[in-house]
Structure 1
Amino acid sequence: MIDTPGGRGVRRLAIGLAVLSCLSFFTTAWIFSAVSREQEIVSQIVKHLPESDSEVASELKGELVLQRGLLLLLVIDFVAAGVALVFVVRAYLSSEQSLEDVKVLSSDILASMDAGVITTDPDGVLTSINPRGQMLIGLPHSEHPPHDSAIGHNISEIGHEHASLEEIFEESRRFEHPIRDRDYRITRDGHTQTLRAGCTRLHNRAGDEIGFVLQVRDVTQKALIEERLRRMERYMGLGSLAAGLQHEIKNPLAALALHIQLLCERLAQETDDTEINESLNILNTEVKRIGDVLDGFRNYASINDIGRSPVDVGELISKLVRLLRPHAEKQNVTLKMSAPEQTLELIQADSARLEQVFLNLALNAIAAMPNGGTLQFLISGEDGGIRIDVIDTGRGIPAEIQSKIFDPYFTTRSDGTGMGLALCDKIIRQHNGNLDFETSPQGTTFTVQLR
């Protein structure tokens, strides 16, 4: 309940005037009754007075007339006080209604905000929370926030996923400065959300500190966009570098590979030394590996546009499943494909590069299930485009490397170059699409969105 000193003053004035009006009313009634009684008594006395006393009786009646005038004046005062009381009561009711309107407006503003607003006292005990805040921290929505189960509890009791809120609160209280834009992640219904929180001190009109205000916003989509921008920055400007490396390294490397091959043929005729042959094979393998790395870097850094033609994504995935089935069966992996009954529209894309993306995602998924499992391709239409989910039942991606999996040359496999997912991400962006993922210990889902 919001109260103001002005509102309390109006109440006191209204009550005081009401009491004075009542006293005036009862006093007027008493005087009127007394004067009426005196008039009756005087009338009875006058009837029995001799004519010699008529002058005295007239003077007495004159005094009673004066008393009547005073009574009339008192009545007028009473009426005026009543009118003033009416105006004061109306003003009081109007101020109460205005105050209620302000409270309702402030409640509506808080309820309409896209950010969660949480207030606490100086000790961190929750004093209020708007509906958006209840939703973001996972509380059941209540039409009457003061009765919400979180009100009256300390901020440390909200939940372990929101421990960052307590840290922000404690830092703001300890160092006496506002905290802004602290991101933390929670998992809800199997999906990861990014929340951005801040904390400032709460003051009343007198400037006294009465608590803290925490703001919480859902910035999941914004965080995804920022991550995609960071990925784009990783290869912006690498085109000229890739061309230089291709010229300065690839050509000498080709000459080196040619001379190693000639040396192998020469030594094969003159000696059967196993150690020499093994060393030459290692040289050959490593030269080829360097060439593959350069090719991968060139493809990743290339800014050339892709070729586009009508592509049936469902048919492309179906062909890929048939190609992968023998390899998957060796790994005890079951392949599944799910597509809508109605035929999806063709999209303008580079079929060879899209096939490269889905092949790489599938091989990574199979590698993540060394003890077998299920790999599913789920195709669906979405907002005028196509969505493809590549779902595995592997062990998931550890949290400490999730932010690095799209980085060039980052790999956890001894036989990988680390360019697979980086190149997949680039190809999908060249198609004006998105490549994202969600992971848990029960498996990982890579989602490709194309338009």
Structure 2
Amino acid sequence: MIDPPGARGVRRIAIGLALLSLLSLAVTAWILATVSREQEILKQIIKHLPTSDLKIANELSGDLSLQSSLLALLVLNVMATAVAFVFVVRAYLSSEKSLADVKVLSSDILASMDSGVITTDENGVITSINTRGRSLLGWDPNGSNGESDNAVGSVGAPKPGIGGNIAEINRDHGMLAQICEESRLRAEPIRDRDYRVQRDGLVQTFRAGCTRLHNRGGQQIGQVIHVRDVTQKALMEERLRRMERYMGLGSLAAGLQHEIKNPLSALSLHIQLLCERLAKETGDAEVNESLDILNTEVKRIGSVLDGFRSYASINDIGRSPVDVNLLIEKLVRLLRPQAEGQKVQIRVQPSREMLGMIQADSVRLEQVFLNLAINAIASMPDGGVLCFVISGDDRGIQVDVVDTGKGIPAEIQPKIFDPYFTTRPDGTGMGLALCDKIIRQHNGNLDFQTSPQGTTFTVVLPVNEEV
């Protein structure tokens, strides 16, 4: 590991002080040796001095002995100080190394997280952002902000890099600045705020939160923003919500069948008898028209009730060997006259690999693909291309129903699988709801992707036991 600059500086200082200590020790040893020699010389001189000068000579000898003791004490002090300094320097360098290891570990942890982590100061200026955060926000540190052409953002907006303000991120991620401001005003953390971003024609769901950033003294110094890509989780939650919409509706459907269907049948019978009687007694065209309207509306109510019963029914589906390729070919022959009338070309892209049969209800599967195809043709009133793309492997078969229409508006995308939701004046709103239910009865999935260039409905069916 490369030592940090602070540790290298301390190491240089320690080496310098160690050399200075050795030099001081050498000088002290030299002085001590000199004093020792002087004491020897003084002893020799004292032997030849007269008695009157012995007192001064003895005082001088005592001073030299005191200096010798002080020098010895100084040597011990220098050595002890040097040893203590060595231990202090070693402890400091060890602390520096531990701190560097902790910093590297924290950096590795942040870089390995699947969530984006962004920190800002009190003014909303970004102070750090991990690798995943750069990826989620579409920031390329090499100079390109990584935005796709289809991304909605302000032209020339600053990159979400260090030193930029969180409020200056492009509009797609404007939710981050909003939750930061809300967290600052409310002085409490914000959790699990979802927002959607359209990138490369696909809609991604992000979940963001914001908490306050404090230092060791407990003082607030900024905010921490965390962002996760929860697109797959959001899809699973949406599938669960779809399942909840018809769970328990079987008993309700049976009750409606009893309470509405039987009186409705009686009403239809009496309207028909009334039509026959009035047709003989009077030729009033207005009365006949009113009776025809009554009869038509009664039949429409009956069909709506039958659709609801089919949607709410929890009866098991029948299973038999089904060749998806032959099913699609049959469907194309059925749809071709209608498609040609609306200037829509139908194409089939079969799988490159040999696909086996699956255990499924062929009638209901045909109903699903027919409904998806009719919706696709209706989305291209000025003509276009309808394509069936078939693929698969040992685990399952996938059929993509692709159109070149204008796509599904964002405001109605969450509702398209809801019962009785339709944008067509002649629709009942049960088509896609029934398709979704039928595919789930086959333990499969029905999802879609949409953009202004068209919509793709994807049907995934698992391969069951061999037939």
The residue aligned with 2:293 is 282
Q: CA deviation at 1:172?
A: 0.7
1:332-365 residue CA offsets vs partner (Å, 9 max, x unmatched)? 0011111212221222111100100110011011
1:184-240 residue CA offsets vs partner (Å, 9 max, x unmatched)? 001122211111111111111101000011111111122111111111121122111
The answer to whether the 8 A contact 2:397-2:461 is kept is yes
The residue aligned with 1:140 is 140
Q: CA deviation at 1:96?
A: 1.0
Q: CA deviation at 1:106?
A: 1.4
- 2:81 matches 1:81: yes
The answer to whether the 8 A contact 2:344-2:377 is kept is yes
Instruction: Name the CA shift for 1:448/1:13 in 2 (closer, same or farther; >3 Å).
Output: closer
The answer to whether the 8 A contact 2:46-2:57 is kept is no
Instruction: Name the CA shift for 1:266/1:107 in 2 (closer, same or farther; >3 Å).
Output: same
SS of 2:428 mapped into structure 1:
coil
Deviates more, 1:17-26 or 1:174-183: 17-26
Q: CA deviation at 1:312?
A: 1.2
The answer to whether the 8 A contact 1:35-1:64 is kept is no
Instruction: Name the CA shift for 1:42/1:262 in 2 (closer, same or farther; >3 Å).
Output: closer
Q: CA deviation at 1:103?
A: 1.1
SS of 1:378 mapped into structure 2:
strand
Structure 2 matches for 1:177-256, cutoff 5 A? 177-256=188-267
The residue aligned with 2:311 is 300
The residue aligned with 1:392 is 403
1:413-440 residue CA offsets vs partner (Å, 9 max, x unmatched)? 1111111111111111111111111111
SS of 2:234 mapped into structure 1:
helix
Q: Pick from 146, 150, 167 the counterpart of residue 156 of structure 1.
A: 167
1:59-106 residue CA offsets vs partner (Å, 9 max, x unmatched)? 567765664454344333323322222222211111111111111121
1:388-413 residue CA offsets vs partner (Å, 9 max, x unmatched)? 11111111111111111111111111
TM-score scaled by length of structure 1: 0.87
Instruction: Name the CA shift for 1:47/1:207 in 2 (closer, same or farther; >3 Å).
Output: closer
Q: CA deviation at 1:123?
A: 0.9
Counterpart of 1:327 in structure 2: which amino acid? Answer: Q
SS of 2:427 mapped into structure 1:
coil
Deviates more, 1:413-422 or 1:47-56: 47-56
Could you tell me how far apart the structure 2 residues matched to 1:288 and 1:33 are? 122
Q: CA deviation at 1:140?
A: 2.5
- 2:418 matches 1:407: yes
The answer to whether the 8 A contact 1:200-1:213 is kept is yes
Deviates more, 1:269-278 or 1:221-230: 269-278
The answer to whether the 8 A contact 2:160-2:166 is kept is no
Structure 2 matches for 1:1-400, cutoff 5 A? 25-33=22-30, 51-52=48-49, 64=64, 67-140=67-140, 150-381=161-392, 384-400=395-411
Counterpart of 1:259 in structure 2: which amino acid? Answer: H
SS of 2:434 mapped into structure 1:
helix
Counterpart of 1:122 in structure 2: which amino acid? Answer: E
Unaligned 5+ segments in structure 1 are 1-7, 143-147
Counterpart of 1:427 in structure 2: which amino acid? Answer: I
The residue aligned with 1:4 is none
The residue aligned with 2:459 is 448
The answer to whether the 8 A contact 1:17-1:81 is kept is no
TM-score scaled by length of structure 2: 0.85
Q: CA deviation at 1:182?
A: 0.7
Aligned-pair identity (%): 66
The residue aligned with 1:438 is 449
Q: CA deviation at 1:443?
A: 1.1
Q: CA deviation at 1:283?
A: 2.3
Could you tell me how far apart the structure 1 residues matched to 2:49 and 2:254 are? 142
Unaligned 5+ segments in structure 2 are 1-5, 143-158, 463-467
Instruction: Name the CA shift for 1:75/1:171 in 2 (closer, same or farther; >3 Å).
Output: same
The answer to whether the 8 A contact 2:120-2:126 is kept is yes
Instruction: Name the CA shift for 1:31/1:427 in 2 (closer, same or farther; >3 Å).
Output: closer
The answer to whether the 8 A contact 1:21-1:78 is kept is no
Q: CA deviation at 1:108?
A: 1.9
SS of 1:193 mapped into structure 2:
strand
Deviates more, 1:189-198 or 1:203-212: 189-198
Deviates more, 1:61-70 or 1:283-292: 61-70
The answer to whether the 8 A contact 1:14-1:88 is kept is no
Could you tell me how far apart the structure 1 residues matched to 2:291 and 2:162 are? 75
Counterpart of 1:314 in structure 2: which amino acid? Answer: N
Alignment length (residue pairs): 438
Could you tell me how far apart the structure 2 residues matched to 1:270 and 1:66 are? 150
Instruction: Name the CA shift for 1:190/1:74 in 2 (closer, same or farther; >3 Å).
Output: same
Deviates more, 1:173-182 or 1:109-118: 109-118
Could you tell me how far apart the structure 2 residues matched to 1:97 and 1:192 are? 46
